[in-house]
Structure 1
Amino acid sequence: MEEKTKKEEKSHIDSSDVKAPPKQRLTVCLISAAFFGSVGSSFLYGYNLSVVNAPASFIKSFYNRTWMDRYGEPIGEDTVTLLWSVTVSVFAIGGLMGALTVSFLIKVLGRKGTLLANNALAVIAALLLALGETARSFEMLIIGRFIIGMDSGVALSVLPMYLGEISPRQVRGSIGQFHAIFICLGVFIGQVLGLPEIFGQEKRWNFLFAFLAFPALLQLCVLPFLPESPRFLLMERRDEVAAEKAFQAFLGRTDVRRELDEVHAESRAQNTQRTASVLELFRKRSLRWQLITVIVVMSCYQLCGLNAIWYYTNGIFEKAGFEKALIPYITLSTGGIETLAAIISGLVIEKIGRRPLLIFGFSAMAVFFSLLTVFLHFQDRFSWMPYLSFTSILLLIASFCSGPGGAADVCVPAVRGGLRRRCRLPARRSAGDQKQDLRGDQPEFLQDQRSRGSGPRARDAGRAGTHRRQRTQEWRRRGDGELLLTHLHLTDEQLLYMSVCVCVRERVCVRRGDGELLLKHLHMTGIYFC
């Protein structure tokens, strides 16, 4: 009799109205969108980081010949160094200009449309860079590098957004790693094609830049047949039919009401709330740690100094004492170790989490940068010191790709999603409306919870909440706020009502962003908050 009662209770708990999200599998459409989206975006960025390494001496010789033809005298060493530095660094300036146009482009063209239009920049840059020697114009190379920098700036901003919006939460970390893996793969392919046996020759170096058009054209051929971001279709275009079809294609199932409801809730919250200004964003205490996280992570990501390793790898190895004939092959090993580390990071990121990978990566980079500085300083005194420098560079690159290289691209959009939820303020309301809310016109959501606060059903729901506590604690520990809110079935509107209707202590908790204390003070059953 007791066993039968336990079985009935277990079946009743399993049939509770709070269901776990269905286990998500990877679909062909989702993998294709991640693959071909990364080929024409992340791959090109990584390729351009390393492609200027191998033909550096040939490009400087081309600058000298062009200068002789124009002015009848050889170019000065300072001038050629200046031109080469501009050629390398203008790529970053172009990236900044491209990133500044993203907010406008994604509203007009959408995520997929922006990626497709961005390929025009890659094709134009490939033509300028490949034909610069034929036209005897080093200005074409500088302009081409600027344009491909714009292409990379747009791609690095739009692609993570597109991948994050089309991938379900269960596999979002793995899909987001496509971005990091293809950057590493682009670096590696640039090093392979720069070998003397392929395009690393004085008569063939322009083919290295002509190759830029191939990934762009490949993306142009495939990406138009894949769906647009469902979130963009529903929130910007108001096309629910197209959004439902896109969700079905990416998720591989016909029942996508849960995903549509989430986007609808976010859309309603945007309509009932106003966007916070920059000053309000910095003044809100509840957003302080999210802002600090984004600023610190991205500042360390951009200022970690790895680009200096990529741009000047050959020079570093040459000064370290390696033979010039071996340097291209030694450089090739750095691209291989980077790609391998990025793949391993993609396999373990969902199990380990973003934060441990970031802490490990940045800490290891600090150690190996320090060792590299010491080894380079003493490399003239010991014959075996260059090998330690080479080992430090390999470990430095592996540390970056296993941690910040991939985890930052996944972690920061997740934190930005939390900011998007919480940086919206209630629409301006009259004092009478606020008093009416506080007196008793409470939302149906709260009234329903109070009606369910007693009786057998509430006790069963409490048992079900106990069964779900481990998952909730796991999401809190990982800092996955969006997944936690989905699990708790809380929309932005309900959070807004809570901040107005609950008692003073609870409102203080909301303002401070203290989620743990807020859960303790809320007068609600365990159905939502267990």
Structure 2
Amino acid sequence: MIEFINQTAKARGTDYSGNYYLSISSLIVAAFPLGGIVGSLLGAYLSNKLGRKKALFVFSVPTLLGSCLMLLSKTIGSYESIIIGRLLIGISCGAYTGIAPMMLSEYSPQKIKGAAGILNQLVIVIAVLLAQVFGLPQLLGNPQNWPILLGLSIVPCLVQLLTLPLCPESPRYLMINKRNPNAAKQALRWLRGVNYPDIEIEIREMETENELSVSTNSSSSLKEMFQLRYLRFALFVAILCHLSQQLSGINAIINYSTILFKSAGLSNANAQYATLGTGCMNLLVTIVSIFLIERFGRRPLHLSGLSGMLVTAILFLVCLLLRHRYSVTVYGALVCVYLFIGFFAIGPGSIPWFIVAELFTQENRDVALAISVLVNWLMQILVVLVYPQLLNSIGDWSFSPFIVLLVIMLALLFKY
């Protein structure tokens, strides 16, 4: 892509110095989380107005447009199409990160809500791993095939468009938001099966929540979210969970893992394969967490994951600082990165996405998700923009701010 940007700039008679490439590449990187910020707000609004299912259909449109723009970017000689494409896909992803966990929570029976919530993160992890595999130079990560790699998001989008019509709308949305008990019962029977023993219990529970919402005239409003103490506290906890996820340094590890491995002393080829290994580790531990979440609970898994990340982050920093003196610390740094990702996957990777749906009732869930997911995407873009500067300015010490932030997040979450 570096060659493509430089050649395109040269053909246009534009100055294609290193600073010019840095500006364009920064825009390409930042476009995705910027879109995510917009999508997080639009997703909450449309999922409340149209329903979860229709909202997912709507956000398939920017995904398709963005994928096509990036796929054709080299053919039409436009790096602007990559920026716009990533912005559009970011909008869709920002919406999906709010709608999908909420939909899974509303679909699932109480006893498996945690496991169902982790499925959202599991699909994300699988997608990241596939992107790492296809991004290898031997496959699509080369000067000839990179547009195909960028356009691969068309595939899951088409799968969604083909399968979503087969799924019902959220029963809770139909019962409480739309006040349509018959449609809610029909959707619940589709999800559980007509012979599911607890179906009437779930229906009565939704009816009770619906009656309470009507009797108290409760509404989904930003003003109410900050006025009522119990909602304010729940929102504070939800935001803390999202802050602890993004300010842990996980995106610095994932986005710049190859650079980090090179700085730890690995060759270019070995650094790429080591990065691929991080995706495998993330996938493996995410699968394991599905079986742990209901047994141990959300809070213990989240706090133990953050604690493990803090310890491994400190050890990783020590290994980086000592690598010139002791060559064995290169392998220590590699192990620390893998453990860091493993601890992330055990709880902090998945729990913030679905915990919001569990902390709030139906009438406040959309607003709470919009705020917490917005915070998540804001922190993502902060890390994406700031970490490269830290890497260039303080080198091996670039991961130290995340250690401080992990300590702060752990202290706050232990307290609350």
Q: TM-score, normalised by structure 1?
A: 0.65
For 1:413 and 1:104, the matched residues in 2 are separated by 15
TM-aligned CA deviation for residue 72 of structure 1: 5.9
Structure 1's 246 and 120: CA in aligned 2 closer, same or farther, altered over 3 A? same
- Alignment partner of 2:168: what SS? coil
Q: Where do 5+ consecutive residues of structure 2 fail to align?
A: 368-416
Higher relative contact order, chain-length normalized (CA < 8 Å, sep 6+): 2
For 2:228 and 2:182, the matched residues in 1 are separated by 38
For 1:142 and 1:99, the matched residues in 2 are separated by 19
TM-aligned CA deviation for residue 275 of structure 1: 3.9
1:70 corresponds to 2:3:
no
State the match for 1:266 in structure 2: 209
State the match for 1:218 in structure 2: 159
For 1:351 and 1:171, the matched residues in 2 are separated by 10
Contact 2:266–2:330 (8 Å) recurs in 1: yes
1:92 corresponds to 2:33:
yes
The one-character-per-residue Cα deviations of 1:73-123 (angstroms, maximum 9, x if unpaired) are 5x1112212211221122111000001112321133210111122111111
- Alignment partner of 1:405: what SS? coil
- The correspondence for 2:72, drawn from 131, 151, 173, is 131
- The correspondence for 2:108, drawn from 167, 184, 187, is 167
Structure 1's 91 and 162: CA in aligned 2 closer, same or farther, altered over 3 A? same
Counterpart residue identity of residue 88, structure 2:
I
For 1:193 and 1:278, the matched residues in 2 are separated by 42
For 1:328 and 1:134, the matched residues in 2 are separated by 28
Q: Where do 5+ consecutive residues of structure 1 fail to align?
A: 1-58, 424-530
For 1:301 and 1:135, the matched residues in 2 are separated by 38
1:405 corresponds to 2:349:
yes
Counterpart residue identity of residue 273, structure 1:
T
State the match for 1:331 in structure 2: 275
TM-aligned CA deviation for residue 133 of structure 1: 1.1
**In proportion to residue count, which structure has more helix?**
2
The one-character-per-residue Cα deviations of 1:163-203 (angstroms, maximum 9, x if unpaired) are 11111101111111110111111111111111222112210
Contact 1:160–1:179 (8 Å) recurs in 2: yes
State the match for 1:391 in structure 2: 335
Counterpart residue identity of residue 259, structure 1:
E
State the match for 1:373 in structure 2: 317
Structure 1's 178 and 390: CA in aligned 2 closer, same or farther, altered over 3 A? same
TM-aligned CA deviation for residue 278 of structure 1: 5.1
1:316 corresponds to 2:257:
no
Q: Percent identity?
A: 33
- The correspondence for 2:240, drawn from 296, 312, 335, is 296
- The correspondence for 2:92, drawn from 145, 148, 151, is 151
Summarize the alignment of residues 437-516 of structure 1 with structure 2, pairs less than 5 Å apart.
none
For 2:84 and 2:342, the matched residues in 1 are separated by 33
Structure 1's 375 and 417: CA in aligned 2 closer, same or farther, altered over 3 A? farther
For 2:56 and 2:232, the matched residues in 1 are separated by 32
Q: TM-score, normalised by structure 2?
A: 0.82
State the match for 1:12 in structure 2: none
For 2:326 and 2:106, the matched residues in 1 are separated by 53
Counterpart residue identity of residue 300, structure 1:
S
Bigger CA radius of gyration? 1
